[in-house]
Amino acid sequence: MAEDKSTQNGRDARADIRAEGLRRDIDENLKRVFEASLDPEIPDRFKDLLAQLKARGGGQ
Amino acid sequence: MTGPDPRTEDPRTDPRDELASHIPALRAFAISLTRNVTEADDLVQETILKAWGNFDKFLLGSNLRAWLFTILRNTFYSARRKTRREVPDPDGLHAGTLVTHPAHDGRLAMADFTRAFDQLSAEHREVLILVGANGYSYEEAAAMMGVATGTAKSRANRARARLCELLGLAEGETVLIPSSSAGAAAPGMGPGPGPQAA
């Protein structure tokens, strides 16, 4: 019985490790895709908007 | 590329001056939520306006990007509630079945990954962008989403599981996309060549 339990525990531990590895891979993929999607160029509409807000002075 | 690390920002600088450096990340987050470039940029514009008018409420030295992300997602959900264009679907129950055909030759293609990501519910996309892509802790993400930490964690786990399901991932398959393909088109998560209709 003790053997069965330890086998079960071993299986659970291996499953946990696999799940953890999968989680890490998924998150790493998300990081890579998000990074790849960043466009460092700021569109003029946002540059203009910030300039207008600054020109108005501080807050609204 | 991602702008200054929000965790190491100098608390003495005026956060208004830092706003521009967060625009690329705000746009990417907005596209992840709206899946539409035009709508995303409108959302970013509204976020900037709201942030600008509320900087007195921003705690100097705290995480500016997290604050901006919070404004952005609140604006997104508030607009969505008004227009009722999408039913809240935290578990992706209505997301349907994947229409992609992952060609598993031992590696996962970025295009397959992003296509599957786009099939997720907005709540699942959101939590994965916050926790997975941006590395916020469950506590931080929970605060940004206005939910309990346990909810953020279980939502993230369900989102990952749903993503794997959509990708048709079987046990033992390689799920890491090659980093060399990171420059390829990322349909739902970035300002790509054209609008991405839902």
The model's pLDDT over A1-51, given as tens digits with 9 standing for 90+, comes to: 555 778 888 888 877 777 788 889 899 999 999 999 999 999 999 999 999
What is the domain extent for residue A45? 2-56
pLDDT in tens, chain B (198 residues): 445 554 444 555 788 889 999 999 999 999 999 999 999 999 999 999 999 999 989 988 789 999 999 999 999 999 988 876 554 544 444 444 443 444 545 567 888 899 999 999 999 999 999 999 999 999 999 999 999 999 999 999 999 999 989 988 765 566 788 775 444 444 455 444 343 433
This complex has an ipTM of 0.79
Q: Which of B1, B114, B184 sits opposite A38 (nearest CB)?
A: B1
Distance from CA of A22 to the nearest CA of B (A): 7
How many other β-carbons are positioned within 10 Å of the β-carbon of residue B180? 8
The number of distinct structural domains making up chain A is: 1
Per-residue pLDDT at B184: 43
Write out the two tokens for B68.
């901006």
- Tokens 């987050």: give the residue: B29
Nearest CA in chain B to A56: B52
d(CA B2, CA B24): 7
Domains of chain B in start order, with CATH, are 1-88 (1.10.1740.10), 98-182 (1.10.10.10)
